[in-house]
Amino acid sequence: MRGLQLPLTQTQKIRLQRALEKLESLSLKANTNATVTIADTIPVNHDDGFLKGHGTLDVDGEVIATVCGVVERINKLVYIRTLRARYKPEVGDIVVGRVVEVVPKRWKLNINYSQDAVLMLSSINLPDGIQRRRTAEDELNMRVVFEENDVICAEVRGLQHDGIHLQARSQKYGKLCSGQLLSVPPYLVKRRKQHLHHLDQLGVDLILGCNGFIWVGEHAEPKDDMPVDQENDTEQDLSSRKYPTTLEDQERAYTPIETRQNICRIANAIRVASTLGFTITVETITETFNLSASLNTGIHEMLGSEFCVLVAEQEAERRGRTKRAG
């Protein structure tokens, strides 16, 4: 929350400062023994023995923190989980990326990492739905499946010598259409059991990528890939399935104005949470969305100073109630 820059009036500055101070005090009370800053001493049991991990240093018999973060202990290993850090891929992470290059047998994706990720042709489901070996014809038709600037949801398959490998062998993965791609600091998106959410009442899909890329788009029902006659399936047929060509197809692909407004309002709720430095969860996003709707705040007005202050005050009040109830 430090370094927050908003065009605030004097009254708004005081209100925001009080809300952030309350949030900080609640956070410190919850993590009094775990949160450390640089040069803090980490209490350890020298008799049982311990292993120094990331962010620790032995100075004159004491373990000193070299980074800011939370002390984590796994058996005898003591390390510090930094609060603000670049995205580090782990196997099983749900990520959202953009195709930057199509090369033989693979796509290269920008996933907000120090290097591009790799999605192999063999790691996706083909449009015809048939499980078979990839042929030279499949390789020629790669741009029919994904092309440059397409946004894709995938899962981290592994870390190999040539980079991060992804896989999209499930109906919940694949190309994303009719929505917005947002970028937030990766440390604001915590790893959870569920990163793909369907907001049923709003008709919106929300994907919180572990890499800090967040997708907000129109809900798309998973489609069962039906096998077709591969001999009669040409590149032109594949293209016609990918892009609406008739007027009826275009009407079916049209996103209603109400859904578009919901997408924009949710996207601005995420931007507000990111500006305030809040952990981005589906609960935080929904509460911010409901607050803007209850106050009849315009979509463009959600990024204003007054609404940001109201969100901070609401979050401080909510956490206070949660602590008292606990």
- pLDDT value at residue 6: 77
* Predicted local confidence at residue 223, as pLDDT: 59
User: Which of residues 139 and 108 earns the better pLDDT score?
Assistant: 108
For 48-68, the pLDDT digits (tens) are 777 888 888 888 888 888 888
pLDDT in tens, 261-275: 999 999 999 999 999
Q: Any idea where the domains of the chain sit in the sequence?
A: 34-82, 94-255
Q: Residue 211: pLDDT above 80?
A: yes
The fold for domain 94-255 equals: OB fold (Dihydrolipoamide Acetyltransferase, E2P) (2.40.50)
Region class of 94: left (phi > 0), else alpha (psi between -120 and 50), else beta:
beta
Instruction: Provide the pLDDT confidence category of residue 249 given band limits of 50, 70 and 90.
Output: low
Share of the chain above pLDDT 90, in %: 43
Residue 116, C-beta contacts closer than 8 angstroms, at least 6 positions apart: 100, 101, 108, 109, 110, 163
Judge whether 26 and 323 are in contact, CB under 8 Å.
yes
Report the alpha-carbon distance of residue 29 to residue 220 in Å, rounded. 42
pTM of the model: 0.80
**% pLDDT > 70, the chain:** 85
The yes or no reply on domain 34-82 and CATH 2.40.50.100 is: yes
The chain-wide mean pLDDT, for the chain, equals 83
Asked whether the domain spanning 94-255 has the same topology as the one spanning 34-82, the reply is yes
Residue 313 has pLDDT above 80, yes or no: yes
pLDDT above 80: residue 18: yes
Summarize the confidence of residues 211-216 as an average pLDDT.
Answer: 96
Query: Which residue did the predictor score with more confidence, 301 or 231?
Result: 301
Question: Does 187 score more than 60 pLDDT?
Answer: yes
In this prediction, residues 143-169 reach a mean pLDDT of 91
Please say whether the beta carbons of 185 and 173 come within 8 A: no
